[in-house]
Chains A and B, each alone.
Chain A
Amino acid sequence: MATVVAAGFVDFEITWRKDVFGGAPQAGSAENFGTLGINFRARKTTDEEELAAALAAWSCEISNGTGEDGERERV
């Protein structure tokens, strides 16, 4: 999420997650890393003002320790 916000997007939301690798014809590394398929959306800010506000809010979340959801982005 941090990467998405830092790139200038807001309203980031993961709407769906599912094991999409289980039962695939060949074994892979997905299971070892608890890999799920996800859908996510976000919106590009309207202007510089909205971007600055989003970055400021995000900085506050990070400094308050509320910006991590315990999940990691893929390698």
Chain B
Amino acid sequence: MSEDVREQPALDIGSLREAIREEYAEVASDPHKGFHFHTGRPLARMLEYSDEWLEGIPEPSIESFAGTGNPFSLGELRPGERIVDLGSGAGIDSLIAAKKVGPEGRVIGVDMTPAMLEKARLAAKHAGLTNVEFREGYAEALPVDDGWADVVISNGVLNLVPDKTAALLEIGRVLGPNGRLQIGDILVQKAVPESAKRKIDLWTG
């Protein structure tokens, strides 16, 4: 009775991450191509981003915006606060946050797509914002010290994270006591069959 009955992994995490990276590299390099989600300034308007927030944010950062909600509608970011932006993409939310927390505050954007990180860093430079930095990493292993952040924001990213429990525990690790979570994401109202969860093209499309 030594039959090997180990189950196959439900999902190849490496392949999923690579597919997501490819998709969002395209959003970075060719934002007007047309995707299965809205992008850019029209999306920001749809999600009720105010013109004031977008003032001074470089256009390349706005055009690659691909959020699904509005983390800033969930509570004010106060001057001097420390913010982590999980899945910072081309940097729009990190840069808005950097403006809100001011020179005494600090923002760390984390993303796994090098093309997005490059775009975000350039945008921060062009915006003259020195209180924001972008680090490469995964939601399940944030490159941020324990208890560093007052607020974690994220927009349209958690749904793409393979291990959501690990990501939430990691968010809890980097937040200090009473730290706030302000997230834009998606909600699925119909049951997703287990077989569908293994299809990478459904995660990215």
Contact = CB atoms under 8 A, between A and B. Distances in A.
Answer yes or no: are A and B bound together in one complex: yes
Interface of A: 3-4, 6-9, 14-18, 20-21, 23-30, 32-47, 71-75
A44 B179 contact: yes
Interface residues of B, number: 47
A75 B69 contact: no
A35 B196 CA distance: 15
Nearest to B159: A74
B202 interface: yes
A29 B189 CA distance: 13
Contacts of B189: 33-36, 71-72
Contact of B184 (A7, A37, A45, A74): A37
Interface stretch (B50-58, B126-134, B163-171): B163-171
Nearest to A22: B38
B96 interface: no
A60 B121 CA distance: 47
